[in-house]
Amino acid sequence: MLPPVFPKPASHRGDGTARGHWLLVSLMLFVFAVGLLIEGYTHGVLGKNSADEPPATPHAQPAPASVTNGGPVITVVNGRPRSYQIPAKTAVLTFDDGPDPTWTPRILAVLKRYGVPATFFLVGAHAASYPGLVRAELQDGNEVGSHTYTHVNLGTSPSWRESLELTLTQNALAGAAGIHTRLLRMPYSSEPDAITGGDWRAARQAAADGYLVVFTSLDTRDWARPGVRHIVTAAMRENGRGVIIMFHDGGGNRAETVAALPQVIEGLRAKGYRFATVTGALKLAAGDVPVSGSQWLVGSTLVFTQRAADYAIGVLAAALIIMSVLTAIRLLLLIGFAAAHRRRERRVRSWTPPTPPYLPDVSVVIPAYNEAAGIAATVRSMAGSRYLGRLEIIVVDDGSTDDTAAIARGLGIPYVRVITQPNAGKPGALNRGIAAAHSDILVLVDGDTVFEPDTITRLIAPLQDPRIGAVSGNTKVGNRRGFIGGCQHLEYVMGFNLDRRMYDLLGIMPTVPGAIGAFRRTALAHVGGVSGDTLAEDTDLTMALCRTRWRIVYAADAVAWTEAPSTLRQLWKQRYRWSYGTMQAMWKHRRAVAERGRSGRFGRMCLTYLTLFQVLLPLVAPAIDVSSIYGLVFLNPVHVAAFWLGFLALQVAAGAYALRIDRERLRALWVLPFQQVVYRQLMYLVTIQSVMTALLGTRQRWQAIRRTGVFAEPGVRTESTSSLLCQATTGR
């Protein structure tokens, strides 16, 4: 497989959305859906036996006495039924419900050892799944017949379903062995005197189409696993007459059948019986008819599709188990790490002796591109900080086409500087602001973010430790009303309060968010400043720092409020940029996996974690969701629903804990069930598009989102435990 190609993003920002190669993705999903439908149709009803026989169709015309009192093989000649009796001292061994990869080879081995031919009535879906077994049956001198494609009861099925079942089975045989068959045994059938009116209607239709409809003389009922002795006894009630004996080589555990078969063969031979196939015993033309090239092609297509569907379901089942287990373990670990992180915070607060406040000069750098809607609230919240040290605020207007620069200058705050430059992208704006800053401690803030009054003080506090190069703050969603806002609010809280606490404890922080981060100037200089190689410059910068000697920590009490996208279109643009940019950064820093020391620890732990849960899981997850629908339709819906509800309960527990430690109201959990079936799928599709774009090497631009200025409105309140945010958004 070719490695992904990550071209550098265009230097300008734009509002165009990259094409997502959805035709290819849609085709893949369509093929997968078709495979599930085939698998559901074929295997949703397989493995049944006469114990599951549906009731007979009422008011159906009964079979004539010549049929119910006749032989076990029936056909129709000139509109009249005809029965065939097996010649005396002749035994026909028949096996239903196969081929089965476990039991059919064992039965074939017994037959070959004794030199006995048999007739196998095959379920078409099984024949398509195991074509090699069909060929093995024919190579040993046996013959095969149809047992319908899905083991459906033809006596209770409409005529169109019977035609479909028999046609599909013929196609499966054509693809598997290049033959059609003239033999049919209807599922749930037994001896002729047990033929119902519905059975007779179906048998008459099949016989009119040229089939020899084969019933049985002796039903061993081996499907019920009554014991080897019972099976042998049931097969030996022949009294010298010719018999067709019914066994099963599929549909369940057939160990008793395999054990009983040698005793049956030896016992019948001792009584002078010879063994033959159905057509061989009746001296009729062979039941196997070679097919034409076009019939073989149609059959081969069916076999390929069926086998591909079987394989896909097997892979999907394994992926479902693996991903479910990993996701459950991940949630439990996140809760455990978050609890440990909180305990560490409490220990530090209780054991650390009082020290003078850390009050270095701080420069706040705000890159802004068309942020007229919210730049005033952002700057005022910085100026309204309770930080007691010297503070400078730098707004870098990165070629805005609106009044961003004029609004920032018009605020009249003396320690606010506005720098205007041609559009160079966010990394260029950040580097310009960093170069112009006078302080060694830098706070980098997005132009749509509002700080609480104590945020700067809390954010830079960890930098008192000279080993720490950067600090991530805690971002909260300000516009959290409605479904989209509620989903993002819950996502932010769970992401920051669970994932980031784990990253902090392990020392593998992948992202200091652009909305709120504090950096030491020497640490930024160590990695060459903010790079423009990716669309996620904050992740790229943080990963670069993780590969150096600098530590990166998380300050949960340093809160910033940001304006999240309010429409699906804007949300898609933002998350696509994040997803694609994160993949770019992961690929850029992939060598860390093989390095030693702090960089190797980051690579092997963090990059592996991100690859597993932010790339691979979202790629597989849509198929898993589709398989859940498949399970509700074709499998036991109670089991599927119980599994989903159990997983949801685990998510609720994790979400409740994250909200609790972040002092948020638990009512935010109302969106979680809907998030699992709507919002989450959208995020998965974003990841799929990002991966497709990376594999095809498409050049991407910065995807800026349109701001509505949620913090610029007077009286705007969030659900923070502090009410001081209102003061920050309306002035000091």
Task: Name the residues annotated as catalytic.
Answer: 96, 248
Which 3 state secondary structure label does DSSP give 414?
Answer: coil
Strand partners, 77: 80
Q: Which amino acid is at 567?
A: T
Q: Are 259 and 233 in contact (CB under 8 A)?
A: no
- Tokens 């290819």 correspond to 24
Residue 533 region, left (φ>0) first, then alpha (ψ -120 to 50), else beta?
Answer: alpha
Residues in the chain: 732
Can the peptide bond before residue 99 be classed as cis, meaning omega within 30 degrees of 0? yes
Is residue 414 packed enough to be buried (19+ CB in 10 Å), middle (13-18) or exposed (0-12)? Answer: exposed
Residue 667 CB neighbour total at 10 angstroms: 10
Spell out where 64-162 has E strands: 73-77, 80-84, 90-98, 119-122, 143-146
Give residues with Cβ within 8 angstroms of 577, minimum separation 6: 535, 536, 700, 702, 703
Residue 183 CB neighbour total at 10 angstroms: 26
Tell me, what DSSP letter sits at residue 44? Answer: S
Interatomic CA distance for residues 52 and 57, integer angstroms: 15
Is residue 299 packed enough to be buried (19+ CB in 10 Å), middle (13-18) or exposed (0-12)? Answer: buried
According to DSSP, the β-strands at 80-84 and 119-122 are unpaired
- Secondary structure, 3-state, 575-635: HHHHHHHHHHHHHHCHHHHHCCHHHHHHHHHHHHHHHHHHHHHHHHHHHHHHHHHHHHHHC
Structure tokens at 487: 């989903």
Give residues with Cβ within 8 angstroms of 328, minimum separation 6: 647, 650
Interatomic CA distance for residues 157 and 163, integer angstroms: 10
Structure tokens at 533: 């190689």
- Tokens 């998510």 correspond to 651
Which 3 state secondary structure label does DSSP give 259?
Answer: helix
φ and ψ at 89, to 5 degrees? 55, 25
